[in-house]
A and B are shown apart, each in its own frame.
Chain A
């Protein structure tokens, strides 16, 4: 397979996954904001957290002086200057798909194209907040349909594997990022108010679509340590970092027919390294102070895997 094609497949998955998680994070926050009547600095801080999770807060503040619900929502959804805005992610995914149309299922292209066409005639600036809610739900559903097409119709060969690696890497990185931002946030607040802010750990679960799953396994009590270990290394939860990394590894193994060659050695080393880190922390409780550095390092390790992966298969 051409490297350019592999790269585009990888990025279709990443872009769609990124759009889906931004949509979920934003939707969760919009709903929670309705339930908590707090206003002022606390609420503003909560909106800022959303921008941090989407990795765009400094770019946002270049344009807007304060963090408010509506401007934040519009910035995350539709701002063309925000490279990670949902609309840009979907547009990028369509362009990735368009340039590899001959290797992906027709339905995959058609779903992305239909979405593009439906957005073409919309003036999103006039959309009300309820309309934006609807949009966020549509994006999530779109991602589900696309994953359904991929699972239901793609041959389990190279193209499929590149799509999967893109998805798992994006997912794992996002989970790490949410954890990182939320633990920073609670640390800050703890210093100010001397209480544990369970509310944020609950949000973290919601951001990552893990709230229901978590409740099924653990009593309805938000124990921060338990939430953290659930999101990091609960191997049955499909957004836990361990689950994602295991799947990246498994998929690369398939791409390489189970063999480590000279050109893939570095990639395997990087993945081994992450696994070892996991094993180290999995069986002991991390103190709150250790979590921040661990997550920082982990995020870097993930990024490193991404770039080694790209290099191994000559992405341009």
Chain B
């Protein structure tokens, strides 16, 4: 099965050097080998079809409008041994905790800026910093981050690193559950012999944490009304919204279903207006409230922010979280952890060199052809140099840019994503993967066991995004004490 599986310098989740299967994959591999080729193919197809039939789709936009697509599913799971998971879990909690302190700080006292740990410019000129709208809000439990999605990768040595924090509207949680559901249905044989952390009861954590965001002036603090605010069925993550609302048993509303009267938020029901306390919004800040953000937003609710300011409603995730998951601010997260928690970061960032520092700058300039250079203020891949794929002329241009304005740029090693075998087009081949870990917060932080393993199914590709041919895998966290090999 893995005879022709090529080795390389990337870390492989399943296969160690000299084509030996890693201990925690041995049992899985043994069961897999018992399945005949046509059986595998049939199961593979059943799995894909199951997503399509249930309409578990995301929408891809193009000139002619949107097309609904399913995320391709690959049945080879990412298996994480208990002790590795424990480290990830603690590391994620630490990081989210620090990021939450940071958000509370910069929207209130701004101590971290005064102490010069994070450059003031970087925050105050940040396009996602909404001080006017979100400054000084009295948030329940001082919590800004209800749901976080932290993207992890593994470098060539298998060390987990944070690639990106998603603190606005991380999507994909529904896939974590659906991948498991489909996997169980199609490959029951694997589950009999593995002791895996279950995903059941996760929704009670999500639900409880949501309800803990009760606004100070709620009329029913013991039984608050929470809703999920969706931009509607044309949003690319609409299925995620449906699934979350369904599983938590909360009403899913669109902007047009809400109304603010005398700074109180109501939903329009068939029996008239009903008061709403907590709004889990899946709409971007920009579109949330046309009175305070974009005034052309038809998705939002006029007056929502004022209702929050008057403590009559709470919006989660917090408004203005984007300032903390920004590419440039990312580089300072390890410093935040030290500053707020007095601890060393448990999960490192991808190495980032600040070019304002003379020694780093000289080092970076001497080996630009092997690095990635990013403009800290840009996003979406603009003003970026990918060394290994650039011409000497392009490198020369960037050299000048850096020298001209060193504080504007950071450099990183070309990121390395670990890989794992995937079964597609009737064969096994290595594909790059990353892992989005979900953390749920309010008065404490809970990390969902596993997460969404995304896989770049195009051979050799490093892009795991579902809009560009990425797929998903089930993620198994082995239980403590479970045999790692058998």
Contacts and interface: CB of A to CB of B under 8 A. Distances in A.
Contacts of B53: 110, 113-114, 117
B256 A314 contact: no
A101 B269 CA distance: 17
A120 to B, nearest CB: 9
A95 interface: yes
Most buried by A among B53, B242, B269: B269
A109 B238 CA distance: 15
A3 B55 contact: no
Contacts of B252: 102
Grouping DSSP codes into helix (H, G, I), strand (E, B) and loop, the A interface class, with mixed when no group exceeds half, is helix
Contact of A2 (B232, B246, B251): B251
Nearest to A114: B53
Interface in A93-134: 95, 98-99, 101-102, 106, 109-110, 113-114, 117
Nearest to B54: A110
B253 A2 contact: yes
Contacts, number: 50
Nearest to B230: A99
B312 to A, nearest CB: 20
A117 B52 contact: yes
A314 B270 CA distance: 6
Contact of B270 (A3, A102, A113): A3
A185 to B, nearest CB: 40
Given A4-B254, A4-B257, A316-B256, A98 B270 contact: no
Nearest to B67: A120
B180 to A, nearest CB: 17
B55 A4 contact: no
Contact of A313 (B242, B251, B270): B270
A169 interface: no
Nearest to A316: B256
A2 B250 CA distance: 12
A2 B257 contact: yes
Contacts of A114: 53
B331 interface: no
Given A98-B55, A109-B55, A4 B256 contact: yes
B407 interface: no
A158 B270 contact: yes
A6 B267 CA distance: 13
Contact of A4 (B238, B245, B268): B268
B378 interface: no
A1 interface: yes
B16 interface: no
B255 to A, nearest CB: 11
B467 to A, nearest CB: 20
A132 B381 CA distance: 50
Contacts of B238: 98
Contact of A99 (B55, B233, B272): B233
A2 B269 contact: yes
Contacts of B253: 2
A295 B55 CA distance: 43
Contacts of B54: 106, 109-110, 113
A314 B268 contact: yes
B269 A3 contact: yes
Contacts of B256: 4, 316
A247 to B, nearest CB: 19
A2 B245 contact: no
A118 to B, nearest CB: 11
A85 to B, nearest CB: 19
Contact of B233 (A6, A98, A110, A113): A98
B269 A1 contact: yes
Nearest to A6: B270
A263 to B, nearest CB: 8
A99 B254 CA distance: 10
Nearest to A101: B242
Nearest to A117: B52
Contacts of B272: 314
A36 to B, nearest CB: 43
A269 to B, nearest CB: 19
Contact of B245 (A3, A102, A158): A102
A1 B232 contact: no
Contacts of B55: 98, 101, 109-110, 113
A260 to B, nearest CB: 15
A114 B270 CA distance: 30
A101 B256 CA distance: 18
Contacts of B233: 95, 98-99
Nearest to A100: B252
A2 B268 contact: yes
Nearest to B238: A98
A164 to B, nearest CB: 15
Interface in B217-259: 232-233, 238, 242, 245-246, 251-254, 256-257
A99 B232 contact: yes
Contacts of A313: 270
Which one of B55, B254, B256, B257 has the highest number of Cβ atoms from chain A below 10 Å of its Cβ? B55
B385 to A, nearest CB: 42
Contact of A3 (B232, B242, B246, B268): B268
Contacts of B270: 1-3, 6, 158, 313-314
A316 B54 CA distance: 28
Interface centre among A3, A110, A114 (most CB of B within 10 A): A3
Nearest to A97: B55
Nearest to B247: A102
Contacts of A95: 233
Contacts of A109: 54-55
Interface string A3-30: 1101000000000000000000000000
Interface of A: 1-4, 6, 95, 98-99, 101-102, 106, 109-110, 113-114, 117, 158, 313-314, 316
Given A2-B269, A102-B252, A114-B53, 4 more contacts: A3-B268, A101-B246, A113-B53, A314-B270
Interface of B: 52-55, 232-233, 238, 242, 245-246, 251-254, 256-257, 267-270, 272
30 contacts: A1-B269, A2-B251, A2-B257, A2-B269, A2-B270, A3-B268, A3-B269, A4-B256, A6-B270, A98-B238, A99-B232, A99-B233, A101-B55, A101-B242, A102-B242, A102-B246, A102-B252, A106-B54, A109-B54, A109-B55, A110-B54, A113-B54, A113-B55, A114-B53, A117-B53, A158-B270, A313-B270, A314-B268, A314-B269, A314-B272
The 10 A-B pairs of least Cβ separation, nearest first, read A313-B270, A102-B246, A113-B55, A101-B242, A6-B270, A102-B245, A99-B233, A3-B268, A98-B233, A3-B270
